[in-house]
Amino acid sequence: MKRFKNVILSCFLLILGICWISPVYIVFINSFKNRAELYENILAFPKEFSLEYYEKTTEKMEFMKVLGNSLFVTIVSTVLIIILSSMTAWMLVRNNNKISKIIFNVFVATMLIPFQTLMMPLLQEMGWFTNMGIPMIDSLGGLIFMNIGFGAGMAVFLYHGFIKSVPVALEEAARIDGCTPWGEFWRIVFPIIKPTTVTVAILDVIWLWNDYLLPSLVLTSKGKRTIPVATAAFFGQFTIQWNMAMAGLMLTMIPVIIFYLCAQKHIIRGVAAGAVKL
């Protein structure tokens, strides 16, 4: 009976896995097809695996340019979120008073607010800064600034839980040895919270790399587009270049899939560590 249950469970998981992987399969095989093949059968293999549409796609997207923009925004945003959020969480944990608790609860509350309810007021406010000479709209720096704001809530939440488990005695010993608060954090605390740092980095890289809505609202110049925004150019108002769009989507997915596969073992470990003593 137990063996039968295991077989049923394995079959269920196999079907579930196929359902999850099927969109990637459809995008991949259709990125090699011409229009006639694509409309004939979207599930069939192409008659020929040619890189023709990938070459056209990279040229039309200006792939190397948008790849550089995406890398810059993703890396800088992630690094700044990690630095600022870890220091914020450390100060909130070590200064355990009512004000700190209120600030922490505000950070957690921001995770519950849908971006769609904020995007119009946000763009209006950022437009005011731009009119005052501080480039926020159509600026990679402005996009990074907004990414930090939207990513800080979750990062502070994860760091806060882990730092609670870090013994204060370690910092006190460092302070007795003449270490400054800056040194206490970077030499003692930050190396210990590495599992959470890796988790925050993984989650933020995946989010920022695939983010379309905020960059599409903020970045208006063609030369400042990120990869998801550039891929949207294949979806026109009246026509859709499906084969080139599929090739563009594959080019978008490949870097983050490779990154995820290399770093996935750290996710569960880091999230579990961040759940300690919440």
* 21 assigned to some structural domain: no
What are the pLDDT digits (tens) for 230-272? Answer: 888 777 666 677 778 888 888 888 888 888 777 777 666 655 5
What are the pLDDT digits (tens) for 93-122? Answer: 988 888 988 999 999 888 888 888 888 888
**How many Å is the maximal CA-CA distance in the chain?**
75
* 25 assigned to some structural domain: no
* 14 assigned to some structural domain: no
CATH number at residue 157: 1.10.3720.10
* 252 assigned to some structural domain: yes
Q: d(Cα 69, Cα 120) in Å, to the nearest integer? A: 24
Size of the chain in residues: 278
What are the pLDDT digits (tens) for 146-155? Answer: 999 999 999 9
* 221 assigned to some structural domain: yes
* 55 assigned to some structural domain: yes
* 18 assigned to some structural domain: no
What are the pLDDT digits (tens) for 243-252? Answer: 788 888 888 8
C-alpha count within 13 angstroms, C-beta hemisphere, residue 246:
20
Q: d(Cα 88, Cα 159) in Å, to the nearest integer? A: 9
Query: How many separate domains does the chain show?
Result: 1
